[in-house]
Each structure stands twice: as C-alpha cells, then as structure tokens.
Homo-oligomer: A and B are copies of this chain.
Amino acid sequence: MVIKTAKEINKMIKEVLDTLSEKQVEEFMQNLIHSRNIFVSGAGRSGLVGKAFAMRLMHLGFYVYVVGETITPPVKPGDLLIAISGSGKTNATLTTVKTAKKLKTTVVAITSFKNSPIAKLADVIVVIRGRRLKGKEPDYISGQLTGAHEPLTPLGGLFELSTMIFLDSVITKLMRLYEEGERDLRKRHANI
C-alpha cells in the first residue's frame, strides 16, 4: 500500500506541475539570474526545501544565504529574497518579507495562495498548489509548541514535494544556461 500511495502522491504532483504558470516561472528565473545575493526563507518543511535549493545554488556558484543561519549577512537593494510558504502567512516568513521590502530587496513568494499576505507583498509570485489554508497555526514556533501543524500527507506535503521538484528543475535550467556561457560560475568567486 505504501508504494501505491507513493505513486498516487507522484501523480498528484504531476497535476500540480500542470498548473504552473510559464510567465511566473520566467519572471522568477530572470530575477534569480540578475540578483547579487540570494536569500532563502521558510519555516519547517518549507525551510528544508529552501535549504535543499540553497545548497544547489551554492554548488552552481551563486552567493546564497539561508535566513536564520549563523552567518547570514544583511540584505541590500539588488538582492533577492525567496520566501517559501504554502499558506502564504507563516509568521516568521512574513516578518522576513516585510523587512526585506523595507530594505528594497526584491521578493519572490513561492506559495499556494496568490492572495495571501506574503504573496501580496512579493514582487514576483510562483503559485504552487497543494496547501490548504484552513487550520493552520500561522506562527511556526507556536505551532511547534502547541502541536498544531500542517495536515499530514498525502495532501499535507504536496506543496513541499512539488516545490522541491520545481526548484530542482530550476537548477537544471541554470546549469544549462551557464554551461553555454561561463562554464564554471564558481570562478566568479575566485576573481573577486
């Protein structure tokens, strides 16, 4: 039964991917390519998906930071914040987005809800279906302490799984772009 469920989840992910907007994805790509430093923000499982993306961006030679880790520098205009929140209203991520906007940093929201508080503040939105808004404790830490959390799978994890696959395909695209051009982005580092 577990394998059958895994295949059902994978099928649901396909349906989510079918609803992705080419235009939104293209805007996201342009911002990724033309930003100075990239910051990734997300709570709980969205945070883990963000870290998995950050690792790959770093391998490609990008200057990338995870909000909340030890050595994250200040954001500046020209930087890009990628905020990952299924509900679009996770407290810590919302605070991060508000701060980034004050500092004139471009914000990309990856969320299931285009009318959520985080999406409304963002410059670019990538809508990835899967998260239901209701029953969500918006503060991740409060949710941890109260035991409130996203509904469990299959539907509860659909947003994170789809986002992880989407972001891995972004990495594939970036890789191809740089193979044709600069070959090893890492060299950028060496020349500073």
Interfacial residues, chain A to chain B (CB-CB below 8 A): 1-3, 5-10, 13-14, 17-18, 20, 22, 25, 29, 39, 44-45, 48-49, 51-52, 54-60, 64-76, 91-92, 95-96, 99-100, 102-103, 139, 141-142, 144-147, 149, 152-154, 157, 160-161, 164-166, 168-173, 175, 186, 189-190, 192
- Shortest Cβ-Cβ A-B pairs, 9 listed: A74-B147, A5-B169, A6-B169, A99-B142, A153-B168, A153-B172, A48-B48, A157-B168, A51-B70
**Bound-state Cα–Cα, A161 to B186, Å:** 25
A139 surroundings in chain B (CB, below 8 A): 95, 99
Q: Which of B2, B10, B66, B157 contacts A173 (CB 8 A)?
A: B2
A3 surroundings in chain B (CB, below 8 A): 17, 20, 22, 25, 169
A145 surroundings in chain B (CB, below 8 A): 39, 67, 72, 74-75, 96, 99-100, 103
Closest to A65 in B: B71
Contact B189 A73 (CB under 8 A): yes
A142 surroundings in chain B (CB, below 8 A): 95-96, 99
Nearest-neighbour CB distance to chain B for A31, whole angstroms, equals 13
How many identical chains are in the complex?
4
Using known A-B contacts A17-B6, A70-B54, A186-B74, determine if residue A95 contacts B141 with beta carbons closer than 8 Å: yes
Contact B17 A2 (CB under 8 A): no
Contact B172 A68 (CB under 8 A): no
Q: Which of B29, B59, B64, B192 contacts A152 (CB 8 A)?
A: B59
A144 surroundings in chain B (CB, below 8 A): 67-68, 72, 74
